Structure 1
């Protein structure tokens, strides 16, 4: 298994960047990534200083998948997401839309949380279950050069909790080699990621990447052992919700034999929504496979 060590930090999905590794379909790799705070908060008195490091969500990559071409799909099985340093960090951040009610006199709130025995120790009194996820992972678009802040059809900063261990993420390929980037691991994150900062951690992520030739999907999909999940991002969030539902219906129709209007009806009653960063409009919609197994 190849180990991809931390190199220069990437803050864009850059199709002109030299690949850090070239792999074949079916290969399992282990990828080191820095935390979303660019490593600025390592101990209690550290501060997130955007005057020196203005960008967030540094990524490792790109990873070049041999024989991948535009119109193909990557199947990315997330085997494990491990803390590199046995800790994670967070800070209060800018309350943005909440300033109307909370004001703007915001303390840094930066603190480092140990990770041990399956928990994040947020304080002496409060421990949070360790539920690792990748906030930012994506292929590289064929035009433009999106930063690591927004999400889109390529993936990007989706910040949904379902990009986690044991699940398979499907991403469309737009350029030769697909050029996969990843990072922004969280030890845990609440629905909505209110302060725009999860429990950020440097990580070692193990992935198995397979190439699905000549199958183009319109945006990120996730498959768990018991759910089908589609992801959409953008504002207003109502539009992202509609898009994610539509893509799930079309997936059920194309791959599972469902009539789209029956799927539309069923999702009305059994679908669930998982919310990423609320201001970015990122969310996932999902349905249990037990329902999908009976097309109607």
Structure 2
């Protein structure tokens, strides 16, 4: 099994970097990544220094997939995410849109949380279940170089809970070799990622990358054993919700034989959403697979 160690830290999903790893479709690999804070908070006394490193969410990659061409998609199945340092770090120094109601005198709030025995020790009295996910995962677009702050049709800073072990993330391919990047692992995260910082951790992700020829995805998709979901990002969030449901309906139509208007009716009653970082307007619209046979 090939392993990709942490090397140069990239803060863009760029087609201009040479691949650090080449794989065949169907190959399982292990990828090491730094945390979203670029490793600056290792103890409770550390502070995020944006002068030394102004960017967030460093990526490992790019990973070239043999035979990938524009119009294809990568099917990335996540098997395991494990912390390499046995801890996660978080901070609440910037209340952003909450300032209107909470004020601006928020303390730095940096603290490190040990991870052991399937639990995150947020404090001496509060533990959180270890529920890891990938915050940033995407392919290189053929135009422009999006940073690791937004999300888009290429993937990017999705911060969706469902990019988790056991699930498959489908990403559009825009350039030869696909050029897959990932980073920004979270030990856990709440819906909306309120402070724009999850429980950030360095770690290793075991994943299998398959290639789907000429599937021509408009936006990323995620499939779990129980659900399918379409992901869209961008403000205002109500538009992303509508577009994500539309993409889900089109998926039900093309892959499961549903009439789009019957799917529209069904999702009105059984559809669910998952919300990424609220400041970006990222939404996954989803439906349980048990309904898909009922067309």
Secondary structure at 1:48's aligned position in 2? coil
Q: Aligned partners of 2:34, 2:199: CA distance in 1, in Å?
A: 13
More displaced, 58-67 or 213-222?
213-222
Cα distance in 2 between the residues matched to 1:203 and 1:107: 28
- Tell whether 2:132 aligns with 1:132: yes
Deviates more, 1:100-109 or 1:62-71: 100-109
Question: Residue by residue, what CA displacement relative to the aligned partner does 1:185-240 show, whole Å, maximum 9, x if unpaired?
Answer: 00000011000000000010001001111211111001100100111100000111
Q: Please give the secondary structure, in 2, of the residue aligned with 1:198.
A: coil
SS class of match (1:278): coil
SS at match of 2:144: coil
The structural deviation recorded for 1:105 is 1.2
Matches within 5 A, 1:207-286: 207-286=207-286
Alpha-carbon distance in 2 for matches of 1:180, 1:288: 28
Cα separation, 2, equivalents of 1:111 and 1:61: 28
1:185 matches 2:177: no
Please report how far the alpha carbon of residue 93 of structure 1 lies from its aligned counterpart in structure 2 after TM superposition.
2.8
- Normalising by structure 2, what TM-score? 0.99
CA deviation map 1:229-260 (0-9, x unaligned): 11110000011111100000000000000000
Alignment check: 8 A CA contact 1:158 1:276 kept: yes
- Structure 2 gap ranges (5+): none
User: 2:35 maps to which residue?
Assistant: 35
The reply on whether 1:77 has 2:54 as its aligned counterpart is: no
C-alpha displacement of 1:96: 1.1
Deviation digits for residues 142-184 of structure 1 (CA, Å, limit 9, x no counterpart): 0000000000000000100000000001001000000000000
Which runs of structure 2 are paired with 1:78-227 in the superposition (5 Å)?
A: 78-227=78-227
| Aligned position for 1:44 | 44
Whether contact under 8 Å (1:230, 1:245) holds in the other structure is yes
Deviations 1:90-117 (A, max 9, x none): 0113111111111111211000000011
Cα RMSD for the two superposed structures: 0.6
- SS for the counterpart of 1:98 is helix
Aligned to 1:293: 293
Whether the aligned pair in 2 keeps the contact of 1:93 and 1:196 (CA below 8 Å) is: no
1:9 aligns with 2:13: no
CA distance, structure 2, for counterparts of residue 95 and residue 215 of structure 1: 41
Once the two structures are TM-superposed, the CA of residue 40 in structure 1 deviates from its matched residue by 0.3
- Three-state SS of the structure 2 residue aligned to 1:185 is strand
User: 1:293 and 1:84 mapped to 2: Cα distance?
Assistant: 42
Q: Which runs of 4+ in 1 moved over 4 A?
A: none
User: What SS does structure 2 have at the residue aligned with 1:101?
Assistant: helix
How many Å apart are 1:283 and its aligned residue? 1.2
What is the count of residue pairs matched by the alignment?
Answer: 295
Q: Secondary structure at the match of 2:31?
A: strand
Unaligned stretches of 5+ residues in structure 1: none
TM-score (norm 1): 0.99
Q: Distance in 2 between matches of 1:197 and 1:188?
A: 10
